[in-house]
Structure formats: structure tokens, C-alpha cells
Amino acid sequence: MLTFDVPDGTRLAYHRMGAGGDRPLVCIPGGPMMRSAYFGDLGGLAAQRELVLLDLRGTGDSAKPADLAGSRVDRQAEDIEALRVTLGLEQLDLLGHSAAGDLVLAYGARYPERVRSLVLVCARARTAGIDFPVERRREALELRRDEPWYEEVRPAFERAVSGAASDEDFALLDRLSYGRWDAAAQTHAALCEEWFDETAAGAYLSPGAFDGADAARAVLADLEAPVLVLSGALDGSPRPDSAAEVAGLFPHGEHIVQADAAHNPWVDGPDDFVRTVTEFLARDHH
């Protein structure tokens, strides 16, 4: 574990893992506000590329900020910039998963010249004014009709949509986040449940987080860096067509759908995930 201080005095932690490639890939966790340990080694990506895994403020080994308002997603862009300075890099190769899509896009909109490449994995894009309606998750649910758990999960899903879900219902819905509900998926889901911090997640998405979406979108539309948008064929948020819309924001955006994967593609198909990301990063981006 390594640490650095951000401008408001909060001490953040990051972890270096693996080797390979001439530049590290800085990985920002989703959740929102999940500790970076849920990435594991990203399906073996660490064997191909050095990973820098950031624990967002108040998660993992990072300190809690004195003012929780500093955890709002747009404000945490300054934490990524402080990490860049700490690493001594002119530009960053950045990966954001799920809710961290909002954060890496906020960073890209504020510091476009500091972004060498972006990898958006099943990522949100509310920073740029694109949201994924909950209703689209029903389409993903219907793709799972042949699963032995479908008849149990469907009513739990409807209760969640109506706002009446129990903790047991949300535990059932974990199945939709994985292409297979096998031992690896169950272990990963259990860790995510243990590490999720509802208070921190609420602060991340507090009012005003996306007020600058139009301005951010305009900057991102001119981003020179290449952008890989990776979605899972079985994911409900985003559905692949929504992920393609996100890729279309960027002048150098591309979209790849990972077959048989849902919201955590490095768990569902590690070999496919590693191959896709490694090939993208291996290109000469400049």
C-alpha cells in the first residue's frame, strides 16, 4: 500500500500490482465507492500490465475526508489529478468500472490533456448527460429466462423497481451482475456486499454531481485520447446499445461487447476481458 495527500488534506491509498507494459493502468472502482480490492487482478490483467488501484476517499485503506461533501463524484476528479502528480506521469491510462465511469469522465472533462487513453467497463456516463433507465434492466432479466433462479429473481426485481425490495431481494438480484452464478461470481458478490458503504455511495451521488453535464459533454466530444467502451452482452446497465451511445460521444471511441458477460466481465470471462483490454492498450495511441 502506498499513500498520497490530496488538496483538502485527505490521505488516500493506492496499490500497485503486476508488471508489463511501459505505463501503468490506473483503475478506478465503481460501486459507487467500492474499495479497489474488488478488482482482484482484473482477471489476470496484472500479468500483462502494471495496475494502479485507487482506494477512493473513505474506502479501503484511504482515510475518510473531514467533509463528506468532498466525496461527490465531480469533486473526486481532483483526487485522480493528485494521483497523477504523485505517479510522476504526464498522462494517464485510466480504467473506470460501473459508477466510476462518471468519475473518469469528470476527470477527462476537467483535464483532457492529461488523458492518454480511457477504458470504460460497463460504465455509467451521467457526467456527460447519458443515463441508463432502470426499465432497460428488465430486458437483461428476460435474457436469463432459462436460468434455474429466474422464477425467484423476477419478483425480487419487480419489488426493487417499485421501491419495496428487501435485503434478501437485493441479494437475489446479484445474479444479474454475472454471466454465470458460479463459485467465482458468488465469492465476488459476497465481497462486494461486505464492502459496500451506503453513506459513501450517497455522498458520491449527492445533489449537483452532474450539473455540469452539458459542458463536460462538449469537452469530451473533442477528447483526443482513444476510448474503449466494453459492455457485457447480458448486462442491464448499460445494455450494449446504450454503451455504443457512450462510445459515440468520443471522436476516437470504440465499443466492444463481451459475450456471455454481465456487469463484471473480468469475473465472467477473464481471458476475453484481458485480451480485449491488452490489445487496446498495446496500440500506439500517439
For the chain, percent of residues with pLDDT exceeding 70: 99
Q: How confident is residue 30, by pLDDT bands cut at 50, 70 and 90?
A: very high
Q: Is the pLDDT of residue 20 over 90?
A: no
Q: Is the pLDDT of residue 40 over 60?
A: yes
Q: What is the mean pLDDT of residues 52-65?
A: 96
Three-class SS state of 270:
helix
pLDDT of residue 97: 98
What's the burial of 198, exposed, middle or buried (CB within 10 Å: 0-12/13-18/19+)?
exposed
| 90: Cα within 13 Å, side-chain hemisphere | 1
Q: What is the pLDDT of residues 160-197, one digit of tens each?
A: 999 999 999 999 999 999 999 999 999 999 999 999 99
DSSP 269: -
DSSP 59: S
89, 90, 62, 88: which is closest to 76 by C-alpha? 62
- Enumerate residues 6+ apart whose C-beta is below 8 A from 115: 91, 92, 94, 107, 108, 223, 225
Q: Is the pLDDT of residue 21 over 90?
A: no
Q: Which of 4-8, 19-23, 199-203 has the lowest mean pLDDT?
A: 19-23
pLDDT of residue 43: 98
Q: What is the pLDDT of residues 104-146, one digit of tens each?
A: 999 999 999 999 999 999 999 999 999 998 889 999 999 999 9
What's the burial of 90, exposed, middle or buried (CB within 10 Å: 0-12/13-18/19+)?
exposed
Q: How confident is residue 41, by pLDDT bands cut at 50, 70 and 90?
A: very high
Q: How confident is residue 22, by pLDDT bands cut at 50, 70 and 90?
A: confident
CA dist., res. 187 & res. 258, Å (int) = 21
Give me the chain's average pLDDT, please.
96
Q: Is the pLDDT of residue 4 over 80?
A: yes
Neighbours of 244 (CB within 10 A): 17
Q: How confident is residue 67, by pLDDT bands cut at 50, 70 and 90?
A: very high
Interhelix angle 100-110/213-220, rounded to 10 degrees, is 70
pLDDT of residue 284: 66
Neighbours of 275 (CB within 10 A): 15
Q: What is the pLDDT of residues 93-104, one digit of tens each?
A: 999 999 999 999
CB-based contact 86:7 (threshold 8 Å): no
User: What's the length of the chain?
Assistant: 286
* Cell 426493487 found at: 160
| SS3 of 158-175 | HHHHCCCCCHHHHHHHHH
The C-alpha cell that represents 65 in the structure block? 475526508
Q: What is the pLDDT of residues 199-239, one digit of tens each?
A: 999 999 999 999 999 999 999 999 999 999 999 999 999 99
End-to-end CA distance of the chain: 31
pLDDT of residue 283: 85
Three-class SS state of 102:
helix
CA dist., res. 181 & res. 187, Å (int) = 10
The C-alpha cell that represents 3 in the structure block? 499513500
Query: Cα 263 to the chain's mean position, in Å?
Result: 10
CA dist., res. 67 & res. 170, Å (int) = 30
Interhelix angle 100-110/77-87, rounded to 10 degrees, is 70
Q: What is the mean pLDDT of residues 260-282?
A: 97
